[in-house]
Amino acid sequence: MFTNQVKTHARSLCGVAGHEWILTTRTGRIDMKGRTAIMGIVNVTPDSFSDGGKYLNSESAIAHGIKLAEEGADLIDIGGESTRPGAIPVSVYEEMARILPVVRGLRRALSIPLSVDTCKAEVARAALAEGADLVNDISALRFDAEMVTLIAKEKTPVILMHMQGKPRDMQVQPRYSDVVEEVKSFLVDRARFAVQRGVPQDRIMIDPGIGFGKNLCHNLALLRALPVFASLGFPVVVGASRKSFLGKILELGLEDRREGSVAAAVAAALGGASMVRVHDVKESWRALRVADAIRFGVMPAE
């Protein structure tokens, strides 16, 4: 029943279930109607898998966020706790010390929405107070009971992501009977949970969680099945950028995954994703403009 309701909701909003969306935030709208939105990544951590330590200094993180916006990012996602496989959690206070100066600085410098990548309600609350617009919760509101209350009260857009286990152990032999069906059921259940507790349905996005408790075959199966997720009635976010499954396919190290990351972003867009989360914004922006022209038949004005 819930899935049928959200499909109807999607059609009433945009005519094509899960394909074309406009997400309203406090700062402005994220237009995903006839185009794939780009979320640029700013990791303010010493140990993130791709760029850990590179932007730990708040000034460099702010400068990097501004650069990503100039390259075409529709919003910037700021994280202060690594979620790489095997990562150790950090305290609320450490996470806030890392990200709040960056949120504050980027809010002063940019007019595009800002996202905070956290599963702690206290961190999210502080970031929203400093000017963040959206919460990207890898736990899908499971790790902190107060998070759903905060999201409902603030009517803040939220990304609900699937993850098997926790970052510390998620890549220790992940197993599924049917990865697509299990991830789909999880996301529908978490969306239902959020709506029942007061989160506006048109503020929810879903993410199948590429690389979070999945092996190479699981990741590829989920990317092939993106039309299934896009049909659920929520915008779909995909974050495949620079992840290890790309290195396995290419037999290349982290520093050589740029082309593979762009290819995954294009595949995600053509599969029905409304937003991609990427490190390499300029290259992704260019590739996605072509993919969107193919997908939607939208051509630049002459």
Residues with a catalytic annotation lie at: 243, 277
Phi-psi region of 29 (alpha: psi -120 to 50; beta: other; left: phi over 0): beta
| Count of Cβ atoms closer than 10 Å to residue 118 Cβ | 29
SS (H, E, C) the chain: CHHHHHHHHHHHHHCCCCCCEEEECCCCEEEECCCCEEEEEEECCCCCCCCCCCCCCHHHHHHHHHHHHHHCCCEEEEECCCCCCCCCCCCHHHHHHHHHHHHHHHHHHCCCCEEEECCCHHHHHHHHHHCCCEEEECCCCCCCHHHHHHHHHHCCCEEEECCCCCCCCCCCCCCCCCHHHHHHHHHHHHHHHHHHCCCCHHHEEEECCCCCCCCHHHHHHHHHCHHHHHCCCCCEEECCCCCHHHHHHHCCCHHHCHHHHHHHHHHHHHHCCCEEEECCHHHHHHHHHHHHHHHHCCCCCC
Q: CA of 57: how far to CAs of 78, 80, 82, 100, 113, in Å?
A: 13, 11, 15, 12, 21
At a CB cut-off of 8 Å and minimum separation 6, what does 93 contact?
Answer: none
The candidate with the shortest Cα–Cα distance to 202, out of 1, 3, 54, 22, is 22
